[in-house]
Structure formats: structure tokens, C-alpha cells
């Protein structure tokens, strides 16, 4: 949801498109900020056509997310959340805020706070652990705001920016976003305890350990068949703690009864997981309307996974992406290339890659691709289909279904070296059965 103050008419939100009116208002407020002498990177107004091209371009850059502040619907300020590029493994946990400004005619009413809070929320939901920003020393109000929101000043550059014909000082701030993260507890070198390889040029893949819930217990199915379930634990909270202690940075949770019923069914178990997890949690299964999505996002779930509605109601996915930027993931589950829904009980006539492109257009943060015939079978991922999808779409793809050994993870890693769109992998049964140890898995993927 976009951020709102108690004051009616004030909101901050991420935008992925700009209407002509929005674009003009945005250019107007940027010009006003430039003329006033601060808050934007230009010293002189650049002319309308330059600004228009600039913002149209920004909307196309995957690493830049544009956030705006509105007063009575009209854009009066903006900022960008900048994600590290995919090749920047060393700073993959850090995002930055840049071009933060509120027009002089809309200051003093709380919009700056609303805007930065919305950005913090977005960055946190995307799993970033640190948020950087820098600001010229003359922006006293902005500095005070950032400090009240927990940004710590770590340095000052005496030659920071040009303004009024002279060099101005600037301050650098960082905010920790995930207070419980292992990185923060262990210091900046925690990667070493995964036995990280010396090859720092390779990109780490994220391992998402799966917690599938059936009747309140943690289970694994074979090929998604409910009557072919192995129960691994009847304490989902303890399972969440175990995977966090093992060093995983995310949890992947599926409400299986929910996926079949079309509405959340294992609520207590999911809440137990959220209460016990020290890392972000993504949840799928049975999420079919905005109210359900919103209530889980408010209950501490970082990202929700939409499967059946991706096929049956793509407009809803689009709306969810607009309301909860960075927090909606498409779950594309395919049986021999064709997308399945409703707990995989139904198969549509849609190709996984077609749905992938539609979901990309809808604005999802990532796509989880599962080949159903492999799921729970320990025979290896469908690398061909996964790589094909990751080459087709521009959003990150998470591989799922079939990991049975370290070799399977190593094979994915090799494919991912050529296919940068592959971002991570979901592992279930092989971890529960002890065929793969968490430490080995993290080493192979890091």
C-alpha cells in the first residue's frame, strides 16, 4: 500500500508509469527544487524536454525504482531507490536513495517523511539490509528527518557538491533495515562461515529452504500430490528457527491446504514461522484477493507468491504490484511446460514463458518456476526450461522442483553463470532428508 499521513491528500508511492499530467508535475517540482538550490543533482534547470526524457528513461532502468510524493494527487516530490547491479556481489545487500527532493511549495507538511518511509519499506521488503544516502550539509531539515528515522552518519565529504559557486560539504548516512540479520550480528565478514569460494567474480545464488504446510505440519509432497506427503515436523516455528540457524537468508513457505482451497488455511502455522524467523519470509498458497495479500504483508510476510491468480486474474496481480511494489512474486508451476493452478489439480493451456512475460508486464519482483513432474523427486531441476524462462523475461527467476544433490546445485550454478536472470533456488526434500547439508549448499551457491 502507498504510505499516507493522517493529513488527507498526502501520499507517497512507487510509480512504474507516468501519465502526461504526472510527468509535467514531476518536471515542475524538479525545476522548482533546482531553482531553489538544493535537493536535486542539477544546478541549473535543464529545460522540459531534457527532464521528460530523463524520467521516461528512469522508468526503464531495472535498478532504479521511482517513488513520488503527491499532494491532492499531484506529484510534488520524488526520489529513486537504486538497487545494486547484478554483478555487484559484494554490495548485494545494500540499496541507496538518490535524487530525494520535495518541491519548496510542498515542504513542512510531512511529505518528506512519508516519501523516505515508503522507500525504507520498499527496500526492506526486497530484502536489502542497508540503505545508503548522502545529503548536502545545508539541507538541515532533511538531515534531521533522516536521523530521526535511524540513519546513522558515518562520514562527511568537504568537497561534496557545487552550489552557489562554491563547494559544499555533504554527509553520508546508512540505515540498517533488518535488525535481526546475521550480517549485523556477525559483522561484515559472515560470508566466510559459508566457506565462500575464492572466486569473487561469480554471482551468489539465494537458497530458499522450503517449508510446505499441510494440516499445520511441515511436509514434502511428491509431484504435488497431497496423499503422497512425508511429514518432517509438526512444529513450523521450530523449523523456521532451524533454517535460520543453518544460515539461510530467506524462507519459502507454501500453504498447501490453502493452494487447494483457494484461501489461506494454515494461518497459525504461518504466524509461528513469522514469529520465529530472523530472515524475510515469502508465502504462497491460496492468496487470491487483495485483502488476503495485504493482511499477510502486514502480518510480517516480506513477499507473497501468486500462482493461480496469475493465470486467472492477471489484472489482480498488476494491481497488487502497484500497491505493494517489490513484494509480489509470481509462482509459475508447469507440467511439461503448461501452467497448472489450484494446487496443481488443474492444467491450463498457457505456456510458462507466455505467463512469465505477462507477469513481467504486471510488475512482479521475481518469478518462481517449478516443474511439477520433478517436484519432490530428487532427480534434478529442469534446467533447460528454467534457463529458457530466465532468458525470456527480465525479472529474476528462482528455480524450483527436483533438487536432490549438491551436484544439482552445482549444475544450476554453472547454468546461472551464463544466464544472469537466474537468482536462486528452492530446496525442500533434499535438505530435510539430509542429502544436502545447509553449509555445503551455501558454499556451492555462494
| The dihedral formed by the CA atoms of 282, 322, 341 and 374, expressed in degrees to the nearest 10 | -50
Cα–Cα distance, 127 to 251 (Å, whole number):
11
Tell me how far, at minimum, the Cβ of 265 lies from ligand AMZ, in Å: 10
Q: Which of 128, 135, 90, 130 is nearest to 112 (CA)?
A: 135
Residue 404: CB minimum distance to ligand AMZ, A: 17
344 in contact with ligand AMZ (CB under 6 A): yes
Near ligand AMZ by CB under 6 A: residue from 13, 31, 118, 333: 333
Binding mask 257-286 for ligand AMZ (x = CB under 6 A): --x------------------------xxx
User: Which of 325, 331, 404, 438 is in the footprint of ligand AMZ by CB under 6 A?
Assistant: 331
Q: Could you give the maximum distance between any two Cα atoms of the chain, in Å?
A: 74
Binding ligand AMZ by CB under 6 A: which of 206, 370, 385, 446?
370
The grid coordinates of residue 45 equal: 534547470
Active site residue 418: no
Helices (H) and strands (E) in the chain, counts: 16, 20
**Measured from the CB atom, is 190 or 313 closer to ligand AMZ?**
313
Is residue 255 annotated as a catalytic residue, yes or no? no
Inter-residue contact 323 to 1 (CB < 8 Å): yes
**3-state class of 376 per DSSP?**
coil
DSSP states along 401-440: S---SHHHHHHHHHHHHH-TTEEEEEE-HHHHTTSS-HHH
Cβ nearer to ligand AMZ, comparing 171 with 358: 358
Residues within window 232-261 making contact with ligand AMZ, judged by CB under 6 A: 254, 256, 259
* Set 31, 333, 375, 408: catalytic member: 333
CB 320 within 8 A of CB 295: no
Report if residue 403 touches ligand AMZ, rule: CB under 6 A. no
Closer Cβ to ligand AMZ, 39 or 209, answer by number: 209
Q: Which of 77, 224, 356, 421 binds ligand AMZ (CB under 6 A)?
A: 224
Please say which residue, 59 or 338, places its beta carbon nearer to ligand AMZ.
338
Grid coordinates given for 57: 528513461
Q: Cell for 408? A: 544439482
Taking the complex as a whole, how short is the minimal distance between the CB of residue 51 and ligand AMZ, in angstroms? 41
Q: Kindly name the residue from 31, 212, 255, 382 that is annotated as catalytic.
A: 212
Q: Is 320 in the site for ligand AMZ (CB under 6 A)?
A: no
Spell out where 290-394 has E strands.
303-306, 328-335, 338-341, 346-351, 366-371
x/- map, 285-314, ligand AMZ, by CB under 6 A: xxx-----------------xxxxx-----
> What number of chain residues touch ligand AMZ (CB under 6 A)?
20
Buried b (16+ CB within 10 A) or exposed e, 415-433: bbeebebbbbbbbbbbbbe
Distance CA 160, CA 238 (A): 49
The residues that are catalytic are 212, 333
Q: Contact positions toward ligand AMZ, by CB under 6 A?
A: 221, 224, 254, 256, 259, 284-287, 305-309, 331, 333, 341, 343-344, 370
Amino acid at each position: 500500500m502507498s504510505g499516507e499521513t493522517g493529513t488527507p491528500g498526502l501520499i507517497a508511492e512507487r510509480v512504474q508509469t507516468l501519465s502526461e499530467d504526472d510527468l509535467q508535475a514531476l518536471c515542475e517540482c524538479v525545476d522548482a527544487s533546482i531553482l531553489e538550490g538544493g535537493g536535486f543533482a542539477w544546478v541549473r534547470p535543464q529545460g522540459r524536454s531534457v527532464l521528460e526524457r530523463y524520467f521516461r528513461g528512469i522508468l526503464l532502468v531495472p535498478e532504479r525504482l521511482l517513488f513520488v510524493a503527491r499532494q491532492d494527487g499531484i506529484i510534488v516530490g520524488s526520489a529513486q531507490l537504486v538497487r545494486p547491479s547484478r554483478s555487484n556481489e559484494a554490495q548485494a545487500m545494500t540499496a541507496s536513495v538518490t535524487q530525494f527532493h520535495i518541491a519548496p511549495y510542498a515542504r513542512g507538511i510531512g511529505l518528506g517523511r512519508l516519501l523516505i518511509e515508503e522507500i525504507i519499506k520498499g527496500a526492506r521488503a526486497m530484502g536489502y539490509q542497508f540503505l545508503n544516502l548522502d545529503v548536502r550539509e545545508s539541507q538541515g531539515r532533511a538531515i534531521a528527518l533522516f536521523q530521526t528515522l535511524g540513519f546513522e552518519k558515518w562520514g562527511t565529504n568537504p568537497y561534496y557538491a557545487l552550489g552557489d559557486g562554491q563547494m559544499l560539504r555533504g554527509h553520508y548516512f546508512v540505515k540498517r533495515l533488518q535488525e535481526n540479520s546475521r550480517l549485523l550480528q556477525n559483522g561484515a565478514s559472515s560470508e566466510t562461515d559459508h566457506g565462500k569460494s575464492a572466486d569473487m567474480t561469480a554471482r551468489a545464488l539465494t537458497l530458499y529452504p522450503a517449508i510446505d504446510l499441510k494440516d499445520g505440519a511441515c511436509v514434502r509432497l511428491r509431484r504435488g500430490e497431497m496423499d503422497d506427503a512425508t511429514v518432517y515436523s509438526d512444529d513450523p516455528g521450530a523449523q523456521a528457527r532451524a533454517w535460520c540457524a543453518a544460515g539461510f537468508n530467506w524462507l519459502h513457505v507454501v500453504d498447501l491446504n490453502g493452494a487447494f482451497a483457494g484461501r489461506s488455511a494454515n494461518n497459525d502455522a504461518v504466524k509461528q514461522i513469522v514469529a520465529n524467523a530472523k530472515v524475510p519470509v515469502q508465502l504462497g498458497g491460496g492468496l487470491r484477493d487483495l485483502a488476503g495479500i495485504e493482511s499477510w504483508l502486514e502480518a510480517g510476510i516480506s513477499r507473497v507468491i501468486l500462482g493461480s491468480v496469475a493465470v486467472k486474474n492477471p489484472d489482480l496481480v498488476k494491481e497488487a504490484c502497484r500497491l505493494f511494489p517489490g513484494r509480489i512474486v509470481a509462482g509459475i508451476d508447469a507440467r511439461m511446460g503448461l501452467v497448472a493452478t489450484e494446487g496443481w489439480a488443474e492444467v491450463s493451456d498457457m505456456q510458462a514463458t507466455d505467463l512469465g512475460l505477462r507477469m513481467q508486464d504486471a510488475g512482479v519482483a521475481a518469478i518462481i518456476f517449478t516443474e511439477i513432474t520433478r517436484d519432490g523427486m530428487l532427480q534434478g531441476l529442469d534446467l533447460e526450461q528454467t534457463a529458457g524462462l530466465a532468458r525470456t523475461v527480465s525479472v529474476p527467476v528462482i528455480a524450483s522442483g527436483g533438487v536432490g544433490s549438491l551436484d544439482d546445485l552445482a549444475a544450476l550454478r554453472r547454468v546461472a553463470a551464463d544466464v544472469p536472470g537466474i537468482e536462486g533456488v528452492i530446496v525442500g526434500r533434499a535438505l530435510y532428508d539430509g542429502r544436502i547439508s545447509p553449509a555445503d549448499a551455501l558454499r556451492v551457491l555462494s
